[in-house]
Amino acid sequence: MTSNSFGTYFRITTWGESHGPAIGVVIDGCPAGIPIDEANIQQALSKRAPGRNNHTSPRKESDQMQILSGVFEGKSTGAPISIMIPNKDASSSHYEPIKHLIRPGHANYTYLKKYGCFDYRGGGRASARETACRVAAAAIAEELLKAEGITSSAFLYRITGCNKKPFDLHTPHLWKTISGSPVFCPDSKTEENIIAAITKAKKTGDSLGGIVVFQATGLPVGLGDPVYHKLEAKLAQAMLSIPASKGFSIGDGFDAADMKGSEHNDALSENPDNPFLSNHAGGTLGGISSGQMLWGRVAFKPTSSIKQSQQTITTDGQSAEFKLPEGSRHDPCVAIRAVPVVKAMLSLTLADLVLANRLSTISKP
Amino acid sequence: MTSNSFGTYFRITTWGESHGPAIGVVIDGCPAGIPIDEANIQQALSKRAPGRNNHTSPRKESDQMQILSGVFEGKSTGAPISIMIPNKDASSSHYEPIKHLIRPGHANYTYLKKYGCFDYRGGGRASARETACRVAAAAIAEELLKAEGITSSAFLYRITGCNKKPFDLHTPHLWKTISGSPVFCPDSKTEENIIAAITKAKKTGDSLGGIVVFQATGLPVGLGDPVYHKLEAKLAQAMLSIPASKGFSIGDGFDAADMKGSEHNDALSENPDNPFLSNHAGGTLGGISSGQMLWGRVAFKPTSSIKQSQQTITTDGQSAEFKLPEGSRHDPCVAIRAVPVVKAMLSLTLADLVLANRLSTISKP
Amino acid sequence: MTSNSFGTYFRITTWGESHGPAIGVVIDGCPAGIPIDEANIQQALSKRAPGRNNHTSPRKESDQMQILSGVFEGKSTGAPISIMIPNKDASSSHYEPIKHLIRPGHANYTYLKKYGCFDYRGGGRASARETACRVAAAAIAEELLKAEGITSSAFLYRITGCNKKPFDLHTPHLWKTISGSPVFCPDSKTEENIIAAITKAKKTGDSLGGIVVFQATGLPVGLGDPVYHKLEAKLAQAMLSIPASKGFSIGDGFDAADMKGSEHNDALSENPDNPFLSNHAGGTLGGISSGQMLWGRVAFKPTSSIKQSQQTITTDGQSAEFKLPEGSRHDPCVAIRAVPVVKAMLSLTLADLVLANRLSTISKP
Amino acid sequence: MTSNSFGTYFRITTWGESHGPAIGVVIDGCPAGIPIDEANIQQALSKRAPGRNNHTSPRKESDQMQILSGVFEGKSTGAPISIMIPNKDASSSHYEPIKHLIRPGHANYTYLKKYGCFDYRGGGRASARETACRVAAAAIAEELLKAEGITSSAFLYRITGCNKKPFDLHTPHLWKTISGSPVFCPDSKTEENIIAAITKAKKTGDSLGGIVVFQATGLPVGLGDPVYHKLEAKLAQAMLSIPASKGFSIGDGFDAADMKGSEHNDALSENPDNPFLSNHAGGTLGGISSGQMLWGRVAFKPTSSIKQSQQTITTDGQSAEFKLPEGSRHDPCVAIRAVPVVKAMLSLTLADLVLANRLSTISKP
């Protein structure tokens, strides 16, 4: 089915369940000669790891990864790169009391019906734990992007009930700064509001949604291939593959659906570096990068696991009450930990299209 | 590159430019034994065709298609189905005066830089004309879906400045009704407002954006494959591959990013037909169809071609004014003609996932 | 299923049946800027066309192709190239008397059982007519190869009962010379024997098998990707996809299975142009081109259609006699017309791997 | 590049070098519900493992595999199955004296030129060690095949200088019997000759080639898809991807190239179980399984590593002598250990096509 693979040229295949011995990723298609720094990958993983601070899930995972192949003397060899991350803190005993219940908002209903089996211990492949593999692979993709002068970033833009006064999306926000924020938000006032809202949600046992913005700079003109591998089409698939994501937009996105052509069209002037006078399009025209900053939004629903009582059914179809057991972990807003994952999917998509672009014309290489 | 193909199992490959002799599509992977009715395909094409009424582009294309292979005695044979649609009304002389100008909001800037060549006669592969091929292929996909009891639909939900009082999205709207509306809108009050707004935009030479809603009913539990071929991920790619689309969402989508978990989670009760008590999720859980109605939104920007003067540059980078030549065709709101294309991409995605689902378990077949 | 596509990067999709209105091919992934000369393609087709001389099938097909997309001002644009070849001399009335019979050695038995339908008019997709599409696409692939300094060739090496004294396979034989021979054989003595054997087979209504040799020169070191896209693995798939092919070998091939390592290993010396002192390997080491001439063999069975009486069954499973109707066309040795097809599959495989090789290292482009 | 993946539906991706910490395979596309018995996989691996007896390489690898994902309570879950095999006996110090030499008949010349880096410690991805991953994955594929009634087998047919009196290939030889032979040969006289020849080759420090035959029984009519995914085309790719393989044939193969149509065509009679009166075709017609036994041959060159002195060059292009260091391992005939690998590739190909066949017709569910 290949449904566990992403990318056509820079291709990752992830494997593993949240409660098995390990998770991992195989990268096939990484060119030879790319510097691979294990510390970099480990640092990227630490940004996504649960238990990073008290605004996210308290599950403790060191996410200590091992590279098992494809690297020799600090560089990629062209062979597949296999990375494994053992699961350490996978306590499945918590799930015992709720093993016969359909969890509202979760995938266990659909997995049970589709596959006829039911790994009650945790989310299995639907668990956000799988995204650690994306982050590890993206750290390598980013080395490829760096060689092309491309940087990728993402940040938390708003969450449920916050951000009355939205901040500027047209200015690039550097990952270096963002990753210093406990909630990955570059705007200090918004950050403060977000932390207050999360603190409150934790008290009521409820959860919040949020919007993550992605940005990439340094793109050449030419990434993306008409017509089904358009830059925004591949990005949209990438982002909607992230657990809990519910929407994607590029540039002005849904706002553009309420604008006029005379407002939305980006005019051009004599400037060889960047002829565009605005960037409503979000850095892409006809599915191909225009050389402007690439930017867009990803919407995340509120975390499905809440501590309030919910009406549900058993796996046999009988009415039941669903309530998270005492001591269960609870991540009040998945949008926060989604930020490094959005950045990872952005990097993986761009690395794939950078390679695709080598194939486009006769003059290359 | 395979970037002109969509679908893994029910796979289409489209070809052709708006100003060449013809456009076409090859469907590889259509199972044998599916009834193929040429009149059906032709009728589907007529819904998308330009010149259908005076709210869309006046280009006259009969879009008379021919099936060249893969059908014998009214049924698919399992061999690739090749469909060709000759171009009739491709007058490229209109483009002569603007052949050295970058068109704001268009792909000719990025195509020129990427491919080093420049087909000034029209949009080439970036032209919306390519979408006729999707509609033709989707008419066949819909025969496959019909055998599974699945129906797909789409309608115009709102356009720039209209739809102050949004209508209900949770009720299925049948294509039969929608396709009777000149602007593909099932709500008569909204339809009226939309027609008024378009009439006004035509007068001012400006253009409008819009939001198209898609809906599918009759889905089994089980369409979509974790983790990168999630139903919503494949749909997102499908929709963002449509010219002028700028955003995609599933279920409550971006609204979910401003909700609480206790509001958004769909509770379940004892009902074997459909245990869910609401459908905020949009018919998918963990990337797999839940058996509820599938629904979501696609945002379209205002048409890039407007009749007002715009600041631009020549292909040599010199400042210039861009103004559509007199007599040029002008489609004031691409979102209207996008409706059958959204429906087509929905059908193509579902047909692909229906086939994918045959592979999932040992018991099938 | 994508089973009608070949190639990962330079990807062709063929369509059409021998008795439908047309056959055709879509090439997706041809880089922009490649010179496309229609006369070249037409000339390549004429080499494969039936009725070329009286040693092959008398079906008369002008094989007049049309390019429908992807070319502008004599060069590829990067968009898919669609080529159509109308069927002219498709007389299906000959097949009427044998429409209920399983044809020994043919695919109609397996097609009927697999697809449940039966296009009795001819071979459908199993017809050798499909290979015209490969030849047309390969003519374009060869323009890409030419830019890299690569040439491809093929010739008839031997047929049933001939070639007691095999001629040299280590010397490159140019296509220019070969294509002048009525049976595509560069050795005049062998050519003579082949023509005599064919003349005799025609008289007895029987058919002959044969071996075609392929050769390519000018390859860089580096084509082919470990481990499943090895040069010889992709070539093997390519060659075994040709109708009537039954075997493939690279370099010494099956002879190597009867040699010692001390005989078979190609030693190396100080010669920067070509360090190898022999070429038992056939131009590949570890699945990657070594820079030597690439060479190997493809075995073809005798044509299944013979004019002698054969024991068979009806489509209902009843015993019957199979005898080709009077006036039926008869191609006594498919290996002859297979020669340009072997060359085409060689070119298509190499073009694909030339593009693949652009992805391998960080320094490219 | 995906060049480390095999299969479209039952898809494996292998990773790892012979001298890294581990090798492994990820299977994506295994249907849910297939029984997975670790002991079975381990037993299959033991057949391929080096050091099995003194006719093959003395490298000692227990090949103790671990399943890391995709299995729950003894059955596949539909999620990717990740298998890891740690490397134990990877002593790279032996390679120190020859680290600057091109090894005649090996891939290190082409890897160095292609990737610009050089893992002198062993064959890297070119090592036959990678094939352990194929065998492990095939053990799972065989569970899928078993549910369809399909069995696969392979045996050593002949080696250099042996087998004057070839034994019957039309009778199925069961793996159970074959795997009891130290050289995987079902014919006791041939086995004796083979062992004698190998003993002699070891003494002279030379190596031998060989031919492996594969057989599969219980196939339905219908496996294989026209035209590029023909059963024999996919098999040919599968077999030529095995290290040291140089040729592939199906049924009579190269012998068919010296036969007449009246000899080669398999006639049919009234027998609903198997209407064919002979099996020259090898169990396939038009690329689709005919329901007969599938059979063919794979040719292997003599092992490249020999203990005799050979003329070569250094990685800098200087003349040098190549001689395996004292104490180096030496496998006098790779064709022996290739037998379980041929069987594995057969099983993987068939499992892939069994899944593909679920997509072919409308009547399958």
- Non-local (6+) Cβ contacts of C30 within 8 A are C10, C70, C76, C78, C80, C81, C140, C144
Q: What is the mean pLDDT of chain A?
A: 92
CB C267 within 8 A of CB C274: no
Q: Which residues of A touch C359 (CB under 8 A)?
A: 9, 29, 31, 355, 358-359
| Nearest chain B Cα distance for residue D32, angstroms | 4
B to D CB pairs, distance under 8 Å: 53
**Half-sphere exposure of A316 toward its Cβ, with a 13 Å CA cutoff?**
3
DSSP A75: E
Question: What is the share, in percent, of chain D residues with pLDDT greater than 90?
Answer: 80
Report pLDDT for C118: 73
Tell me the CA distances in angstroms from D134 to B192, D6, D13, D270, one per residue in order: 64, 10, 9, 40
Q: How many residues does chain A have?
A: 365
Nearest to A361 among C9, C29, C33 (CB): C33
Nearest to D358 among B76, B78, B365 (CB): B365
Q: Residue D365 — very low, low, confident or very high, per pLDDT cuts 50/70/90?
A: very low
The answer to whether the Cβ–Cβ distance between A364 and C31 falls below 8 Å is yes
* ipTM field: 0.96
- Residues C101-136: b if buried by 16+ CB within 10 A, e if exposed: bbbbbbbbbbbbbbbbbbbbbbbbbbbbbbbbbbbb
Mean pLDDT lowest for which of A117-121, C225-229, D193-197? A117-121
What integer is the mean pLDDT of A69-91?
91
Neighbour-count burial of A213, counting CB atoms closer than 10 A to its CB (0-12 exposed, 13-18 middle, 19+ buried): buried
**Half-sphere exposure of B59 toward its Cβ, with a 13 Å CA cutoff?**
26
Q: Residue C350 — very low, low, confident or very high, per pLDDT cuts 50/70/90?
A: very high
Q: How far apart are CA D314 and CA D305, in angstroms?
A: 17
- Tokens 């989310």 sit on residue: A123
Nearest to C362 among A29, A34, A226 (CB): A34
The answer to whether the Cβ–Cβ distance between A358 and C359 falls below 8 Å is yes
Q: Which residues of B touch C69 (CB under 8 A)?
A: 15-17, 20, 22-24
Nearest to A33 among D1, D4, D116 (CB): D116
Q: What is the pLDDT of residues A333-357, one digit of tens each?
A: 999 999 999 999 999 999 999 999 9
The answer to whether the Cβ–Cβ distance between C3 and B114 falls below 8 Å is no
**A111 and C CB contact within 8 Å:** no
Q: Which residues of A touch B239 (CB under 8 A)?
A: 236
Nearest to D15 among A23, A66, A69 (CB): A69
Q: How far apart are CA A299 and CA A303, in angstroms?
A: 12
Per the structure block, which two tokens stand in for A304?
């499905």
Q: What is the pLDDT of residues D81-93, one digit of tens each?
A: 999 999 986 566 6
Give the type of residue at C54: N
Q: How far apart are CA B221 and CA A109, in angstroms?
A: 9
Q: How far apart are CA C238 and CA C344, in angstroms?
A: 9
Which run of H or of E encompasses D189? Answer: helix D188-204
The answer to whether the Cβ–Cβ distance between B358 and D359 falls below 8 Å is yes
What integer is the mean pLDDT of C60-78?
90
Give pLDDT tens digits along chain B (365 positions): 589 999 999 999 999 998 899 999 999 999 999 999 999 999 999 988 876 677 766 666 678 999 999 999 999 999 999 999 999 865 666 677 888 999 999 999 999 999 987 777 767 888 889 999 999 999 999 999 999 999 999 999 999 998 677 788 989 999 999 999 999 999 999 999 999 999 999 999 999 999 999 999 999 999 999 999 999 999 999 999 999 999 999 999 999 999 999 999 999 999 988 999 999 999 999 999 999 999 999 999 999 999 999 999 999 999 999 988 877 777 899 999 999 999 999 999 999 999 999 999 885 44
- Residues A343-365: b if buried by 16+ CB within 10 A, e if exposed: bbbbbbbbbbbbbbbbbbbbeee
CB D24 within 8 A of CB D82: yes
DSSP B16: E
B12 to chain C: closest CA residue = C2
Closest CA to C5 of C359, C241, C236, C300: C241
Categorise residue B161: left if φ over 0, alpha if ψ from -120 to 50, beta otherwise: left
Report pLDDT for C46: 92
**C220 and A CB contact within 8 Å:** no
Q: Residue D168 — very low, low, confident or very high, per pLDDT cuts 50/70/90?
A: confident
Give the type of residue at D14: T
C353 to chain D: closest CA residue = D1
C212 to chain D: closest CA residue = D257
Q: What is the pLDDT of residues B93-140, one digit of tens each?
A: 667 788 899 999 999 999 999 998 777 776 788 888 999 999 999 999
**C122 and B CB contact within 8 Å:** no
Query: What are the backbone dihedrals phi and psi of residue A55, each rounded to the nearest 5 degrees, phi first?
Result: -95, -5
Interface list for D 16-75 with C (CB within 8 A):
none
Greatest alpha-carbon pair distance for chain D in Å reads 69
**C271 and A CB contact within 8 Å:** no
**B317 and C CB contact within 8 Å:** no
CB C345 within 8 A of CB C241: yes
Which run of H or of E encompasses B334? Answer: helix B334-356
Per the structure block, which two tokens stand in for B91?
């007058």
Tell me the CA distances in angstroms from C152 to A300, C40, C172, C297, C345, one per residue in order: 54, 15, 10, 14, 10
Q: How far apart are CA A300 and CA A298, in angstroms?
A: 7
For residue B152, the SS3 value is: strand
Interface list for B 287-306 with A (CB within 8 A):
287-291, 297, 299-306
For residue D92, the SS3 value is: coil
Q: What is the pLDDT of residues B273-283, one digit of tens each?
A: 899 999 999 99
Query: What are the backbone dihedrals phi and psi of residue A290, each rounded to the nearest 5 degrees, phi first?
Result: -100, 0
Per the structure block, which two tokens stand in for A350?
């761009």
Query: What are the backbone dihedrals phi and psi of residue D237, each rounded to the nearest 5 degrees, phi first?
Result: -60, -45
